[in-house]
Amino acid sequence: MTPASSGPATGPRKRGRPARTSASDGPGARDRILAAARNEFAERGYDKTSIRGIAKTAEVDPALVHHYFGTKEQVFEAAIELIFAPAMAAPDAVHGSREGAGERMARFMFGIWENPVSRLPLLAVMRSALTNETASVVLRGMIERRVLLRMADELDVPNPEFRAQLAAGHLIGIAMLRYVIRMEPMASAEVDDIVTMVGPTLQRYLTES
């Protein structure tokens, strides 16, 4: 995926005062701002990240950040859209034959978690959501709209949204023990051994009525 094409915030925002034009306001400015926002939120969390800090990292005027993305909350939304982009293919992993859907979902999610490049920003966003109410609301809305509702559409069971959340909750909890709290033996277990146990559980949640 390319940063410039992902996310809902593709149209420039017009409210507030118009952005000043500067030497840095070139065609790549929006991408630089988004990349800077991703890094700032991932490294500092929601509370400690500022529009000013993002602008400084992107080497643009803070007004340009407002111009493209709006408020801090809206910049956060665009940044986590970028951070969650890999996870958004989860419904596609579930799509297909019912047989093995649970294992496909488990393998897909561990594929993302096992890669530090995708894992670290995801953990940072989870931390932000746990410690800041605004970040929590934004994250919840995005996971609901972009992952769980689409996944529920793939399911042919009663209460598909509840089922999708049982499966997602299970994976999130295992990820917390393994990657955040790093509790042994979970932290050092082979992914295959986890998938062997968790796959049939997800299969039951996603396919058995």
Q: Is 116 in the site for a copy of itself (CB under 8 A)?
A: no
Q: Could you say which of 75, 174, 195, 206 contacts a copy of itself (CB under 8 A)?
A: 174
Cβ pair 199, 97 in contact under 8 A: no
Q: Could you say which of 12, 99, 153, 162 contacts a copy of itself (CB under 8 A)?
A: 162
CA–CA separation, 72 and 31 (whole Å) = 16
Q: Could you say which of 33, 198, 199, 207 contacts a copy of itself (CB under 8 A)?
A: 198
Report which of 41, 209, 204 is spatially closest to residue 135, judged by C-alpha positions. 41
1-60 residues near a copy of itself, rule: CB under 8 A: 45
Secondary structure of 56-92 in HEC code, one letter for each residue: HHHCCCHHHHHHHHCCHHHHHHHHHHHHCHHHHHHHH
Residue 67, judged by CB atoms within 10 A of its CB (0-12, 13-18, 19+), counts as buried
CA–CA separation, 4 and 10 (whole Å) = 8
- Contact segment (CB under 8 A) with a copy of itself among 5-13, 28-36, 97-105, 196-204 equals 196-204
Instruction: Report in angstroms how near the CB of residue 86 gets to a copy of itself at its nearest.
Output: 19
Instruction: Report in angstroms how near the CB of residue 107 gets to a copy of itself at its nearest.
Output: 16
Q: Is 182 in the site for a copy of itself (CB under 8 A)?
A: yes
Place of tokens 């950040």: 65
Closer of 3 and 102 to a copy of itself (Cβ): 102
Closer of 96 and 116 to a copy of itself (Cβ): 116
Q: Could you say which of 13, 88, 127, 134 contacts a copy of itself (CB under 8 A)?
A: 127
Helix, strand, coil fractions of the chain, as percent rounded to 5 = 75, 0, 25
Binding site for a copy of itself (CB under 8 A): 45, 126-127, 129-131, 136, 139-140, 143-144, 148, 159, 161-163, 165-166, 168-178, 180-186, 189, 193-194, 197-198, 200-201, 204-205
